[in-house]
Amino acid sequence: MIRSKKVVVVLPAYNAEKTLEMTYREIPFDIVDDIILVDDASTDETVFLAKKLNIQTIAHKKNVGYGGNQKSCYKEALKQGADIVIMLHPDYQYTPKLISAMAFLLESGEFDVVLGSRILGGKAIAGGMPLYKYISNRFLTFVQNLLMGAKLSEYHTGYRAFTREVLETVPLEKDSNDFVFDNQMLSQILYDDFRVGEITCPAKYFPQASSINFSRSLQYGLGCLKTAVQFRLNRWGILHFGIFDFDGSGAPVQEGN
């Protein structure tokens, strides 16, 4: 705990057998109260290894997608009384050593969400990020900042930390079960004016680290642009989109609320 606030790390896993233990060993157990792994019907020994490591494990009987996996992670973390929830990929692409920094930033009360940015440190390409992904990341982030009125260094990191209030407020069930879930969730967070902080985060790229291919990346990018346009149209009251319906009334949330 951090000053009586319960810290829970959630691991959305899919075929993470080769990297799970490396990830787990670097988690700062001095502040983390619980670790929850949700396995999305892996075809390797992820579940067996997780249980061997005494990680609390939930196994989906069928694959529900990256977004669907996160929904299960957050539901379970809230059910177990988490005050701070940190989403860490068990593929060892992001270092668990930053969990403490992210958790303390949330505990400070100055932020509601903290993102681990691969871009802030200027080492993304040196760390192995493919050039086409770097360029698309920068382009999408530029467009999204324009449409959403934010100044984030990137919208596409998979290393994120949230307060309980954020997870209880944002209508995650309205989001996709696919990879664009991350972007939709962050858009909702910005739409409801939650305070977002960023810290620089080195990332590793190697064969065992999960990654989507070019075709899926293109589909993801188009989904991000669509979400950003919907955000702006919803803000202006021109059209209403369900993912920005926070109160269930069907009416757009007005700017500043």
Which pair of structure tokens corresponds to residue 138?
């920068």
Domain assignment present for residue 257? The answer is: no
CA distance 190 to 148: 8
In 3-state terms, what secondary structure has residue 13? strand
pLDDT value at 175 more than 70? yes
Q: What percent of the chain has pLDDT over 70?
A: 93
Question: Binning pLDDT at 50, 70 and 90, where does residue 168 land?
Answer: very high
Question: Binning pLDDT at 50, 70 and 90, where does residue 127 land?
Answer: confident
Question: Binning pLDDT at 50, 70 and 90, where does residue 70 land?
Answer: very high
Q: What is the edge-to-edge ordering of all strands in the sheet holding 196-200?
A: 56-59, 34-39, 7-13, 84-87, 160-163, 113-117, 196-200
pLDDT value at 248 more than 60? no
**What letter would DSSP give residue 137?**
H
Domain assignment present for residue 1? The answer is: no
Domain assignment present for residue 252? The answer is: no
CA distance 240 to 134: 32
Q: What percent of the chain has pLDDT over 90?
A: 83
Give tens-digit pLDDT for 82-112. Answer: 999 999 999 999 999 999 999 999 999 999 9
Which pair of structure tokens corresponds to residue 188?
């909702």
The answer to whether the CB of 225 falls within 8 A of the CB of 150 is no
* Lowest mean pLDDT, pick from 71-80, 119-128, 209-218: 209-218
Domain range for residue 99? 7-244
- What is the average pLDDT across 39-63? 98
pLDDT value at 251 more than 50? no
Q: 65 versus 202: which is more confidently predicted?
A: 65
Q: 82 versus 256: which is more confidently predicted?
A: 82
Question: Binning pLDDT at 50, 70 and 90, where does residue 47 land?
Answer: very high
How many domains does the chain fold into? Answer: 1
Give tens-digit pLDDT for 16-43. Answer: 999 999 999 999 999 999 999 999 999 9
What CATH number corresponds to the domain at position 147?
3.90.550.10
Residue 185 sits at φ, ψ, to 5 deg, of -60, -45
Domain assignment present for residue 176? The answer is: yes
pLDDT value at 155 more than 80? yes
Domain assignment present for residue 253? The answer is: no
Domain assignment present for residue 204? The answer is: yes
Question: Binning pLDDT at 50, 70 and 90, where does residue 254 land?
Answer: very low
Q: What pLDDT is attached to residue 207?
A: 64
Domain assignment present for residue 66? The answer is: yes
* Lowest mean pLDDT, pick from 101-115, 132-146, 193-207: 193-207
Domain assignment present for residue 171? The answer is: yes
